Amino acid sequence: MSVLNQNSIFKVLVVLVLVAMCSLYALPNIYGEDNAVQISASRNSTVTEALESRVSDILAANDIAKKSIEFENEQILIRLNDSDSQLRARDLLDRELGDDYVVAMNLAADTPEWLENLGGEPMKLGLDLRGGVHFLMEVDMNEAIAKALEDAESDFRTALREEKLRYRAVNVRDGHIDIQFRDEETLDKAEFFLENRNRDLTYQELDGLVLRAQFAETKLAEIRDYAVKQNITIIRNRVNQLGVAEPVVQKQGAERIVVQLPGIQDTARAKEILNATATLEFRMVDQDNDVRDAQQGRVPPGSQLLNDKDGRPVLLKKRVIVKGNHIIDANSGVDEYGLPQVSISLDSEGGNKMSRGSRENIGEPMATVFIEYKATGDRDANGKLIFERHEEVINVATIRSQFGSSFRITGLDSPKEARDLSLLLRAGALIAPIQIVEERTVGPSLGQENIDLGMQAIIWGLALVMVFMLIYYKAFGIVANIALAVNLVMIVGIMSMIPGATLTLPGMAGIVLTVGMAVDANVLIFERIREELRDGRSPQQAIHHGYDSAFSTILDANITTFIAGLILFAVGTGPIKGFSITLMIGIATSMFTAILVTRVIVNAVWGGRRVSKLAI
């Protein structure tokens, strides 16, 4: 029996490597976080190293001690000693730097540089543990449908003109498009043509040679769904400005979006970024009419007077060539002459529209218009927030050749302007305004209290289980307790390694549950060893049969629980997902520690030698 229960070198190495790796990545969690102030650029400014020096001088002049100041990814992060210094620094810098920069409070991990270089970072904590803000936002679907109708109206004009079907007028009114024709024959031809070309709309003939087009219900549902999904993508880009470690942005219901920003203490700044509903449009400059006449109030039909970012008037044609929601990428760079430019990529639909529009306007100036919807504070009869539309020309460039899905904007004043424009274009365009209908704030003190209570539950649960195992199983209880401690370290390490894993308060409950499940496997093994000893087997045989016989029972029990965790993760949201993640990770690590780690330890202590009896 001396050959039983001997460790292979491979098995020992697997255990040591996995435990060491999880321990390394669990290490950042012991260093905590620093109170920090983060500075990023607004739309018309850039964060530079010179600003870093200026910020240091401002803090020093006002006797605010700092731990460190870092310039990275076009942001400045100032680490401070306590929350009072953080608040003072935020207020001071916000006042001194003005509107050119965004100053926000945050929490920054205090992980050593050598550990960061290895990819180590602490677990992401959920809103209920770290504190932060929760917003429930509602998309203005009326505006989304109105924009879709505007696109359809423009498409109708182009298609009818190319088909040489003459019409009197095309107008958008109250959720439908009315097209008036000159005669009955043209109306019939147009109806036949449009029905085959645009199958997402329904058509109806009205008195006065008018053809009315409306979106079908399936198309309306598609527009609403797309509006929510596209807004979610853009909101994710926007919250990156706040430096949130693990933001939650997800759909809720048909028209609402949930945004959770753990660690954010500056709720005013968060609301400002999320409420900044913006879009972009490419439109031609009206060169057939005098901008000075338009300034006097004589704006030609089909044109619109706007100002550029310096306040200069620009007369534009109302017809939109391409909207910002068709942009899929934008990058700044230089052209063949070393001058700044922005390279833009459109989706297929936007590429077709740009190709057609640019072909018709070679040599003409085209403007990029930035449009922002700001809440007025007033509400309509349905209780929804009323938004005010603000428009600004951010760039005018001459079309040199026909564009396709990829083109470039030249004629920019500086590389900084090119960078700013590319960032703005990449940020995307919200397809419809959004409003915050619910706001909740979880303070850092409440989050810390939740952490403390959760840790107490884990520690007490762990201590009671360890005492029970030690008393009931003696020396083998020590082995189980070592495996239990290793199990907790591995859970923390894996949670820290997985990019999308976030620890929530229900997740801590999952860890407590895992503690009990982890020793449950060892209880099955140890009881089976006792049975084998009572049946007269030798200690080595008892250990061998105890582990082998209990394995199938442990596997069955854990697989069924793991499947339940998968279902919770798939159908659950928020706290349920947090619980299921820690539950599934805990099941995997407890299987590893309860079966493999304890087996390696037991084999190392009792295996491969003559043993008269076992302390179990």
**23-33 per-position pLDDT tens digit:** 999 999 888 77
In the prediction, which pLDDT does 1 show? 39
Q: In this predicted structure, what is the pLDDT of residue 295?
A: 87
How would CATH label the architecture of 142-219?
Alpha-Beta Complex (3.90)
Element of type H or E holding 214: strand 210-215
Residue 430 has pLDDT above 70, yes or no: no
**Segments making up each domain of the chain, as ranges:** 9-28+444-606, 33-109, 142-219, 276-436
- Determine the Cα–Cα distance for residues 389 and 392; give it in Å rounded to an integer: 10
Provide the residue type at 43 as one letter.
R
CATH code of the region 33-109: 3.30.70.260
Lowest mean pLDDT among 229-233, 381-385, 457-461, 594-598: 381-385
Q: Would you say 305 and 315 are in contact if contact means Cβ atoms under 8 Å apart?
A: yes
Name the fold adopted by 9-28+444-606: Multidrug efflux transporter AcrB transmembrane fold (1.20.1640)
**Are 30 and 67 in contact, with CB atoms under 8 Å apart?**
no
300-332 as b/e, with b when 16 or more CB fall inside 10 Å? Answer: beebbbbeeeeeeebbbbeebbbbbbbbbebbb
Classify strands 434-442 and 502-503 as parallel, antiparallel or unpaired: unpaired
The terminus-to-terminus CA distance of the chain in angstroms comes to: 20
pLDDT in tens, 70-85: 887 677 889 988 878 8
Structural contact between residues 404 and 398, judged by C-beta atoms closer than 8 angstroms: no
| Residue 435: predicted pLDDT | 75
Residue listed under structure tokens 């965004």: 102
Determine how many CB atoms are found less than 10 A away from the CB of residue 167.
18
Average pLDDT for the chain: 82
Kindly report, residue by residue over 583-594, the tens digit of the pLDDT.
Answer: 899 999 988 998
The pLDDT value given to residue 176: 87
The pTM of the full predicted model, rounded to 2 decimals, is: 0.61
Assigned CATH for 276-436: 3.30.1360.200
CA distance 183 to 203: 17
Tell me: the pLDDT tens digits for 397-416? 888 888 878 877 776 677 76
- Confirm if 122 and 28 have CB atoms less than 8 A apart: yes
551 confidence band (pLDDT: 50, 70, 90): confident
Question: Where residue 138 falls among pLDDT bands split at 50, 70, 90?
Answer: confident
Tokens describing residue 346:
């459109």
Q: Quick check: helix, strand or coil at residue 140?
A: coil
Neighbours of 612 (CB within 10 A): 6
Calpha distance 407→399 (Å, rounded): 10
The answer, yes or no, to whether residue 21 has pLDDT greater than 90, is yes
Residue with the bigger pLDDT between 3 and 166: it is 166
- Quote the tokens at residue 335: 């052209």
